[in-house]
Structures are given as C-alpha cells and as structure tokens.
Structure 1
C-alpha cells in the first residue's frame, strides 16, 4: 500500500471516531431532560380522562402543535364535561363532531402563552406585569372571512380589527381578530371589589368557586407541561360571539341593529384582506371590511379592545346596553320622531349619539354600575335589578339586553327642542361644534331656560351657514355688510349664549311681570337680560328699539324652551352712551356723574368711549346719585364749591382733572358684572390704580334684592333698585346713594 493512501485512510478513521464522540456529547448535552414534563397532548392522553379532547385535537390537526415545543395555556374540558355537552347539543358521540366544530372547541380552549393560576389575574402591560388587573386572555380562535348578504348581494366580509377612529385604519393586515376568553379568579375579583354577585349575574345557574372560566369551574389547575400549562375544567366552551354577532342573531333587538346597520355601517373594499383571502382559498372574490362609524365609541365587531397597548384586551372590554324592540319603538315614536316623519330623515349625528348613549368603553360589572359612564359621559340610567332582561359575557365585552332606553341628556333636555327639530338646525349646529353649549343645556342635573330662534329667524336677521365653505356667515340687515368665518361665528355664539339661562327654581316660567337675570352657565357667566310683560330683551335690543316675543314653549326634564321671533342682541355701543341716555332722562339722578364724565380726560363724547373700558368686556358701573356727587364736592373729593356742593364739571386745574379721572375709575368695577342676585360677592377690582400702579378694590355685598358697595375706608354705598340694573355692553349700570372713596 502506498504511503499517501494509508495516510488518507487513517485520517478518515480518526475523523469517524471523533465525529462519533462529538455526536454523542452533542446528543447528551441537548437531550430532553429526564425530569421534564410531557407536552400538553401527551399529558392529556396519559391522564386518561381527556379522551374526547385528544380526539378533537387530532381532528383539528393540533396534535403536532400540542405534542411538541410551544408556549400555551389550555383550558381542558374533561370527559364528563363532554358527556354533558353532547347531551345539551344533541350530539351522539365524538365521532359526530366534524373538523370545523373540533377546531372551534380546541382553538378556543387555547390561550397564547403559559399562565399559572397566580398569573392569570395579572395584566401583561407594555411596561411589565400589573398585578390583579386582568380577567381575559386572547385565544387561538378567530372567525376569519364570512359570506354575507348585504343589500341583496352576497359578498365576502371580514370584521374590523380596530375601532374606526377618524384618523385610524379599521383593518390592520395580519391581525386575525382573535377572540378572548373570560375567567373569574379570586385575586382579580377581590382586588377590584367584585364577588359572587358579579359572576352569578352572568351565570345564574353556576356556582362561583373563585376560579371559573365562563360557566365552568376549575377541577384541576396548574398541570405543568413541557409546552405550557393545563387547567382542567368541567364544562365545554364554544367560541363566544361578539357584540356585533349578538345583535345579528337576536331578533328581539333587531330594531336597535337596524339603526346601526342602516345608518352607521359601511362595507369597505380592502385590498390587503382580499389578497390574503385569495391566496388562502384560491377564490377570486373581493373582501369587504364591515366598518362602523368613527363617531361611535367602539366597533362592536372589533375583538381587540382599544389596542392602545398590545394586550389591553386582557384588562378591559366593551359594554352595550341594548333595548328590546318594543321599548325602542315607543322611544322612536314619542321622542325621535316627534318632529320628523320617518327615521331616514333624522340627521346622522342623532343616530351616533343614540348608539353612543348605550355604549361604554369599559366592562361594566353589575355591582359597580354606578362607577361607569357611557360614551356621552353620562351615568348609566338602567336599573340592573329590574330593567335588564338578559346579561351575557361575549368575546369582546358584556351585553345587557334591557327593557328600557338609556335616558340620555340629549333626548330629554332643553337642548332636545333644537336637536330633534328640523326647524332649528342652525342653532343645533352651533351647539354641537365645540362651543360647549350642548354640554351646558343638555345637563339633565341642572335646570335651564332656553330662548331658541328658528332657522327662519336667524336667516331673517342675517345669520346662515355656508355648507360648501364650512363657515358661518353674517350679513348686517341694516347695512348689508357681510362677515364670515370666525367673526360671524363669534357673533352668533354671543347671541345664542344670551338665550341660555340657569333657572334652578324655574324663575322664568312666568314672564308676565318684570325682572332681570344673568344668562350663560354658572361657571361661565354671560350677560344680563330682562323680561317684561311676556317679552324679553338684552342690551342690544334696547339700542335697536325692539324686543323679543315668545311664540311658544316646551317643557323638558331640565327646564323650559321658549320659541322666539327675534334675537337677544348684544350691544355694540360704548357704555358711556348708555350712561349719557340715563343722564338725559327728565330729573335724572345720573346727570351730575355724567357731567363730570363727559368733561373728563377719560371720555370721548362722540364715541361714548371711556379710557380703560373695552367693548365686549364685563364691567359694573357704580354711579353716585346727584346728592352723593354734591356731598363729594362738599367733602373736597370732587372739584366744585365745598360750601354749597355745587360741582365744577370742567375744572381747568390739572390736579383737579386727575382727581375727577381717579374718582370715575374707582366707580367702575373691572372684569365682573354684579347685580342684586347674589351671584357675585367679595373684593372686586376697579379701574383705578394707586400711587405705585397697584390695583384697587371695592367690596361687594349682594344677595337677592340686596346690593351694596364698600370702599377702602369702609364706607357703604347702597344701590337704588328703581334706578339700577340698567343694561349695557356686557355690563350693568347701578345708581347708588353714596360715593366711594379710595384711601391709601
């Protein structure tokens, strides 16, 4: 044998020996540990009481998946559970179950990731575990694509897997919209103030054990397998339907569903879904996503909850309160169609609001119902003890079938008078456009009087909305000048705010006498208006020489709506002109004060403007009567004859001119409008500044029928009721019996 050949043979022999040794060491190192538990399938098979389940696993083609490595939690019904299931479903035995049903049972019993009992109550947030904040887990089951008849045509449909936010996408490719499984464990229930009552509300025929999976009880928990955890239960769970599917399959709620389907659902073609479907089925059909209106709190067919975090469906779910057909029909007839001939004539926003009133973006537990608000931020007005016909845990939330409609503020308040009447669309548009007015007047817990102009009244007086340009327009009826956009909207906002009056004691239910009252909300005061002999008027009406007549009224749960033939106009003239007119009346008690004002350094007689007083800002003018002005002259506070009290209205001395200006400034209260209604009290800033430029203040004492002003020296000036409460631009002008004196 030649030497090279021998060398080669020896090398091969050595290599074989080395490889043999390495393979043995490799196998030993990576071999399955002797003490490692068997995988889920083998565990179930070996225990002997899961014979039906293992056969279904095989039919569902999950034997290989569950018989190897992985990371699952299996909620495993035992054979006794299947015996009862077969009886309930009319199934002879396991051989009668096809692969479709087998898939549903097996995949819905499979939870992604392995969870022992103590972890099931914890939420897997993006930042880590949140203890005792979870009661649901995502399963391996999802519905996928379905053929449905829509408008008489058969189409392939997939459900939204996101809520249809205005700036979002209702369908994300690759997300199968997996269904969730709900369980009830002591750790979560106790930590969240829940108990057996909450469980039995949904499962009245079952016993709460402290570890229930839907209607089943835990038999044997935390069975460890190589590829996960097994929890043995005594009942078989079929995949739960979602809220959308519940409405589709329950005829007793068909009227509610028709409101949704006819007005708030679209079927939108989706290329990604179509590609997935065609690749999977080899069919050429296009796929449409069932998309709910983005104004709704959530999409009832979305299994994913909010998806603000990947697993947020573990910690919360949706809730819908759905009225049965008979009570909903009564509501439609008596409320929604009070001023409309048919539902198809209602604006879309009415349907959005109505459905949102019955939606809660949380899982509403029965014992804690008072802690939740609906999508309109209202409390739940359904009595769960007497007004719920059925309650179900569904795959994406809780369902309550009710014998009552949620009595939303929007449908039972003074706001409703405009909202559900086609003659008042302009006012409704402004109430709804973010002005905050809707929230004020629809507050069912506070009483209001609403003065409501129709579209015809608004258009006759120059207001309209340009739909094409999406902007408000105002044309001055007297001059023909037109403004649009923000300026026009601001004018109308102010006019309509004059017609919103808090009346906790129904103060305006009788307008036959006379009086004054402040408009706007308590938290955001408006201007004062007056009533007399069944007419009402604001400062602008006095300037224009007209009044507002009542042409009808309607009582709602939180007050009264008056229908009016004119607008409560605001004044566009300077308050100095109002003081001038008061001074020009015969034997006027305002004349001495005005004469000082007219000749002062502060006043522009032509415009009626006072330096420091801005149009559109709230003020209170405190005007001493003639006798009080004369006393100020005698006291040397104002220029004139200190012996006789005869005023010098036009002093030439610069110091005296400053003295008059400071006197006037101290009698003008800035930023607040005070009346004798008790709504404002305390220290109020004046227009006067002291020697170093600091603000000065007047004290205010007020109550029903009482109004007094206290100066820095403690002197009191009481208002004279018969000559006070005079309207001006966002202001009131009062006559008082004393002058106010500022002292350092």
Structure 2
C-alpha cells in the first residue's frame, strides 16, 4: 500500500522530496520496488549506456548527489548521439566535450531541469490547472554572464562610450529568467495551435501526440524514476536566444537590426564578486508590463511596442492566477536586407523615404521607432500562420502577410521571428499623412495634424483623400479670421507658424498692413505678438487642415472630374478651393494661386506639396450683398426681413452680420438681377419693399412679409454650386423654403456642365422648363463667402472660431418661384 500511494503521487505530478537522511529508508524499501520503476535519475542514465555525456555533465556541475538521491526533479536530457551531432554542427566552435566551458555545461544541465517531478501532461498546466505555454526552469540568469567584445555591442548612441573604449563588458541580453516554450499536445490544443502552424514555424513535421520544446522533439516521455521524471529530447537542449539577440546575430536582417539597435541601452544590473559591473540590454518601449522610456535622465528617441530582448516577455502582465509569461509570447516580422533595400529605393514602396533620406542610416530615430514597432506583434498566438489572413497590426489595420512572404523562422525563448521578403510600412506612412510625417521640411504640418487630431481622419483606409501639405518655409502669411474682426487695425494680423524647442506649434503675428511684428501686450491672441496658446493654435490649424483636405470617391474619380473641366471642389470643412488644369490651386482668400510642386500617390489618396497656405475668405454673405449695386434689390428684401443678424449670446458673436438660418455647411445664394426682381414685382408675384413698409394694416403686412421671405429663402440652397464645379444633371438640391403641405423643403433642380449652370424651379421642373441661368458675362458669379461665429460675446476679446457657414453667390437672370404664379396676381 505504501508503494501504491507513492506511484499515485508520481502520476499526479506531486512534489516528492527525499532528503539525504532518508538513505536508510531507501535501502529498507529496495526489495519492494516494482520491476518497471527505474532507480534514481543518475543510475537510470548510467545504466542506459548511451547517456555518457549527460552523466559527465551532471558530475562536472556537482549535481551527482542531487540526481541520485535528494529532491524531486523533471529532467529533459539528450543521449550521446545527440551530443555527437551537436559537436559536429554547432556554430560556437565546440567540437568535443572538453571544449565546453563550465558555464555552458551548467546552462545545458539547469535549463532542462524543473525542480519538481511532473508528467508531460501535467507540465502542460500551471499549479492552478491553466494551460502553460512557457515555463521557467532551474537555470538562473547569472549562471552564465556573457562577456561581449566592444565591436559586438549594439550600435546605439547609448552603447557608444563602451564601443569607443574598445573594451569588452559583461552584458546580459536581459536580466530576467529564461523560459522553455512547450509545444505539447494539451498546450497546442488549448492554445489552438494547429499541426500545420507548428510545422511551419519550427520546420519539423508533427504527428498527433508529438511533443517538443521549441523545435526540439521529445522522443521518449514520462520515464519514471524514484526521484523524478525524465523526458528524452532528440537533440541537445541549447536554449535559443531571445528575439533581439537572434535578430542581431542574423546578418541577413542587419538593416532592420541597425534600426532596432538605436533603441538599445546598457542598463546597470549589479557588480560581480570581483567588483566588475554587469549590465543588461534594455530597449526603449511602451509595453504595459515592462515599459522603458528614459535612460539616465534622457527621454527615449522613440518607443518600440515592446522590448524584444525581454526573456520573461508577457503581453499585458500577469494576474493572481497565472504569470503572464506562461500564457503567450511575442512575435516579430523582420524584413531581409534585400527587402529593406528594395523598399528604400527610387521606385520602391518607400520612394518618399528614399527621397527624404537616401539611406536607412539617415532615417530619423522617431521614424525608425515607428518602422520597427510596426513589425512587432504583442501576441504570437494571434500571429500563427493559420491566422495570417486575419492578422492586423497593433493599430488595428490589415498587415497583408502570407506564408509566401516568410523566408525563414526562428522560435526564441521570448517569441517567434518571421523573416520576411517585404517591409510592413506603418499605416501613417502609407497614407496621405506620410509625406508630412517623413520629411522634416514638413514638420510643422506634421505636428499640426497631431495637434488638431486630424491623424484619425487621414489614416483611414475607408476614405480617399486629396491632401495638400504646406512645407515649413511656406507656413506663413495666414490671414487670421478672428483678428480680422478686431476694430484696431494694429491687431488685424497674419500668422507665421513655427515649431518650438518642445516640438509644439507656435505663431508670430505680423500686421496685415505693413508686415511689422506686433509688439503690444494688449494683443488678444498672445503676448508681444507671439501666439502660443494651444487652444488658439489648434483652432487655426484645424481651420487650415479643413481647407486643405479634400474627400473624394477615389483617385480615379478625382482625376476624371478634373479632366472633364471641374475646377472648384468642396473640402472636408466645406471650404471651396479651386484647382486649375495647370496645377495652380487657391482658396477663397488667396490673392494669387499657389503651385502644386509634388504629388505622392498613397494607399488612401494623393498627397500634394503646395507653396503656401490655402486661405479661407473673411468676406461674409452680408459683405457681398450689401456693397454691390447689382445685388441691391435682393439685399433690400433681405434687410427688410431681418435675415442678416448679429445677436451676440453670452458666449458667441459674429464679426459682422450673418444669415440667421444657415448652419455649419456650404450653400449657394442665387441672386436674381435687379431687373428680374422688379419684373416679378410688377407682375404681382412678390411685394416690393416700399409696399410692405407703407402697409398700415399689420395683418396684411405680415402676410406680405411672409410671401417675400418664402421667396427670398427659396434662393438659398444647400450645397455650393460653382460654374466649373461638380458636373450634375437635373440634380435636386433643397432650399430654405418649406412646403407647408408636405412639411418638406422645396428643391431647386440644377444642371451644371461645360461651364454653364441652369436652374429649374419646383414650378417649372414639372413642365420640363429651365427657369434661370447663372450669368457668367460679368464678375457676379462664383463669389465665395464665409459667415463666422466667434467664441466671445465681445468680438474684441474673441480668440477662436466657434462656427462658420460657407456660401457661393451666383447672379441669375430670372427669379425662382417654388409654385406657379397665376396671371399678375400675388403669389400665395
């Protein structure tokens, strides 16, 4: 019964210790040991006759007694044939057992020793019964401390002092414990790793019940001895390096490694017994469980997603039930040198990188960090070959990787490295943002995208953009629309943008009249003419970006529209811009057109470099209608009806007057000629201003005003229609006059083609008639306006744009009537 209990404990994987003092008890029980139960671990290996190298290993490391009597262990071992193969094939130059250093022998023994006895099935589980993908062993990181020659140190500015000194240093690849990677049947089933996944990653075939450590097959498992379990490996268990060390040692990926090593630092670990410093290699990273963001008071030049050298790598950190390292490991996709060179070439995918930098050595640290990080995956289990079709980068976008892209694989102690034939460009650089992020000559615009939070729009692959980037040298002469509303011309200014030492955007204000820098502490936007308030700057940068971002159906549609003669386009922020056939571009407020100097084709559209800022107009609808004689009759009606208002609230005000019923959108205002309006009045279709003003009966007056207001509102239409704008055929656009029978707004039907715009009113459309034409024989068409609302009840104290309305004013040759007038009677 005693031995029945003993074997049951072994089968359950229980910890079982025999102290030396119990030797006599062993002797007493020898006659009762079953024939199938092997003696102690040492004697079993010795009696086999084919484990002589392993016996020597145990003896030389001083573990003879431990393997004979004391304790309870699980041991992964290899036979003599495995050692002979190792001596023939290893790259370390060890050609016979006598060549092995003591530290290497200690590593071979301890890395395969687990300090409690467990069946392979039980090794697949943690102490609390959870699937265990990786586990630690008896090996301690200080059991072998490499001495690294100066020329073999990571080539980073942080290691530079040690490289220049030319002396070797004691350097751990990481100061955390090494782990074994367990491809055991229960682990593979529990982690949903398929046989094909295993075979692809390790390069060895697998049958249903096969088990492996790393890519080392277990050829005999669950050998039962009196003081533990043994599992025989096909090859000598030389633990693979971590991901970082493998990448550094693989000459075929040296380009990538040179980028990665920029973020490596020698972090002091401890002093040894001789007083020599021992360092560990750390990489700047932002991982939740092992972040490293500054070194000796210096902030990181860039952050990787995780430290590729961290032995105990874990995606998010552990919990009370299971350490995080047991559940998963990291993964990296590392391009070959050939792939890196092909990418960074004049006709490669990274042609804009090539244009900006010329070589990988010249790529700035922050961009190098982005590139390296984009090749990192927090989870190997989410990056299995069987999941390549669905794999996304850590920003959540498709990586577009296939097995055909993988030219080599490596299973390390903290993750898997896939060597690839392609570079996986970070999303931001594949999109229209790329030229701004890549080239330091566009750094103000790059920071503007961040400050104004435009990156969230521009990195979308579901939209197509035409994005106009202004290089640093041209980020000047922005006419500030808020300052333009100030009564004092001293504060009506232009802004010249610049980057501060803290890499934030600031601006210097110059007077619009004489260009002098404002040196007056009364300037509402800043101090001594310098605008540094982040809220104000974000507001203006957003205004610029809204005007320089065009959303299109596709690049092809945009090109086709231009080829068909379209010149006017509506941007993301509803601002109108004009692009002519000779690649000149202007906003509504530019005095002279700008030039498009460079075009980049990106995955979500085109990016363009332009030699200035696309300036919005500061002219309102009121400004145009109230100052031009050809609009007098229409303006007089608007004025009588109180359509133009400036009713400040407790927190907002208009710089001047604005149309009270328009929202933050883009509109068209159709203004009939004075003659057309007077003709309609003579026919009795609409009342005159004098008729209303002279009407003494208030009820009649109200009725006449209602007729006039519905007439006027019918000339305010949603959507800006430009001569040489978007070509449409009989397109219905809603007006601001509501149909009181249907409670829907009346439409106007627009045809825009060949530089001619014709309109059909609701009344005429049913009869197939054209009602009016936009007149292009003068300068009363395509007049661009913007009504603003500012952020203070006192415009002299306003600092930001609160809201806005864009509108284009078009003069037409006839009035628009939403219903059919009868005879000369007044419209009802």
TM-score where L is the length of structure 2? 0.65
1:316 to 328, 336, 353: 328
Superposition RMSD on alpha carbons, in Å?
A: 5.0
What are the residue-to-residue correspondences of 1:543-562 with 2, within 5 Å? 543=589, 545-556=591-602, 558-562=604-608
Instruction: Please state how far the C-alpha of 1:528 moved relative to its aligned partner.
Output: 3.8
What are the residue-to-residue correspondences of 1:35-50 with 2, within 5 Å? 42-43=40-41, 45-46=43-44, 48-49=47-48
1:542 to 578, 588, 608: 588
2:385 to 343, 361, 366: 366
SS in 1 for 2:571: strand
1:39 and 1:67 in contact (8 A); partners too: no
Instruction: Please state how far the C-alpha of 1:440 moved relative to its aligned partner.
Output: 4.4
| 2:433 paired with 1:415 | yes
2:665 aligns to what? 618
Of the structure 1 ranges 653-662 and 599-608, higher mean CA displacement relative to structure 2 is found in 653-662
The 3 A distance-change label for structure 1 pair 519 and 230 is: farther
Instruction: Please state how far the C-alpha of 1:662 moved relative to its aligned partner.
Output: 7.7
**Take 1:299 and 1:197, find their aligned partners in 2: how far apart are those partners?**
28
2:615 aligns to what? 569
What are the residue-to-residue correspondences of 1:120-139 with 2, within 5 Å? 120-121=123-124, 134-139=132-137
The 3 A distance-change label for structure 1 pair 484 and 573 is: farther
Uncovered stretches (5+) of structure 1, i.e. residues with no partner: 1-26, 162-175, 635-639, 691-695
| 2:70 paired with 1:59 | no
| 2:264 paired with 1:265 | yes
Instruction: Please state how far the C-alpha of 1:458 moved relative to its aligned partner.
Output: 0.7
Instruction: Please state how far the C-alpha of 1:329 moved relative to its aligned partner.
Output: 3.2
Deviations, residues 378-432 of structure 1 (Å, cap 9, x unaligned): 43344432x333111111111122333234445554433333334322222323x
Instruction: Please state how far the C-alpha of 1:307 moved relative to its aligned partner.
Output: 6.0
1:75 and 1:231 in contact (8 A); partners too: yes
1:405 aligns to what? 423
Instruction: Please state how far the C-alpha of 1:202 moved relative to its aligned partner.
Output: 3.0
2:578 aligns to what? 530
2:412 to 394, 397, 403: 394
**Take 2:558 and 2:233, find their aligned partners in 1: how far apart are those partners?**
65
The 3 A distance-change label for structure 1 pair 74 and 440 is: farther
**Take 2:163 and 2:398, find their aligned partners in 1: how far apart are those partners?**
37
The 3 A distance-change label for structure 1 pair 555 and 575 is: same
**Take 1:721 and 1:644, find their aligned partners in 2: how far apart are those partners?**
20
2:575 and 2:666 in contact (8 A); partners too: no
2:247 aligns to what? 247
Instruction: Please state how far the C-alpha of 1:642 moved relative to its aligned partner.
Output: 9.6
| 2:611 paired with 1:603 | no
What are the residue-to-residue correspondences of 1:501-520 with 2, within 5 Å? 501-503=550-552, 504-509=554-559, 511=562, 513-520=565-572
1:428 aligns to what? 446
1:141 and 1:239 in contact (8 A); partners too: no
The 3 A distance-change label for structure 1 pair 230 and 544 is: same
2:498 aligns to what? 465
Instruction: Please state how far the C-alpha of 1:242 moved relative to its aligned partner.
Output: 1.1
1:40 and 1:227 in contact (8 A); partners too: no
Deviations, residues 29-66 of structure 1 (Å, cap 9, x unaligned): xx999899999993463464466445423433445666
1:340 aligns to what? 357
The 3 A distance-change label for structure 1 pair 397 and 709 is: farther
**Count of residue correspondences:** 655
**Take 2:746 and 2:75, find their aligned partners in 1: how far apart are those partners?**
74
SS in 2 for 1:374: coil
| 2:544 paired with 1:495 | yes
1:701 and 1:709 in contact (8 A); partners too: yes
The 3 A distance-change label for structure 1 pair 478 and 231 is: same
**Take 1:720 and 1:544, find their aligned partners in 2: how far apart are those partners?**
30
**Take 1:701 and 1:129, find their aligned partners in 2: how far apart are those partners?**
72
Of the structure 1 ranges 222-231 and 433-442, higher mean CA displacement relative to structure 2 is found in 222-231
Deviations, residues 570-608 of structure 1 (Å, cap 9, x unaligned): 234544435557xx374x5xx665433222345248922
**Take 2:657 and 2:703, find their aligned partners in 1: how far apart are those partners?**
22
| 2:806 paired with 1:731 | yes
**Take 1:576 and 1:673, find their aligned partners in 2: how far apart are those partners?**
18
2:219 and 2:233 in contact (8 A); partners too: yes
The 3 A distance-change label for structure 1 pair 428 and 232 is: same
1:6 aligns to what? none
1:122 and 1:129 in contact (8 A); partners too: yes
1:24 aligns to what? none
1:453 aligns to what? 470
1:109 to 90, 101, 112: 112
Instruction: Please state how far the C-alpha of 1:625 moved relative to its aligned partner.
Output: 5.7
Instruction: Please state how far the C-alpha of 1:495 moved relative to its aligned partner.
Output: 0.9
1:152 to 149, 164, 168: 164
Uncovered stretches (5+) of structure 2, i.e. residues with no partner: 1-20, 151-161, 286-292, 294-302, 479-494, 519-528, 647-654, 776-780, 787-804, 821-828
SS in 1 for 2:567: strand
**Take 2:771 and 2:326, find their aligned partners in 1: how far apart are those partners?**
65
**Take 2:712 and 2:229, find their aligned partners in 1: how far apart are those partners?**
81
**Take 1:255 and 1:219, find their aligned partners in 2: how far apart are those partners?**
39
**Take 1:565 and 1:719, find their aligned partners in 2: how far apart are those partners?**
42
The 3 A distance-change label for structure 1 pair 414 and 206 is: same
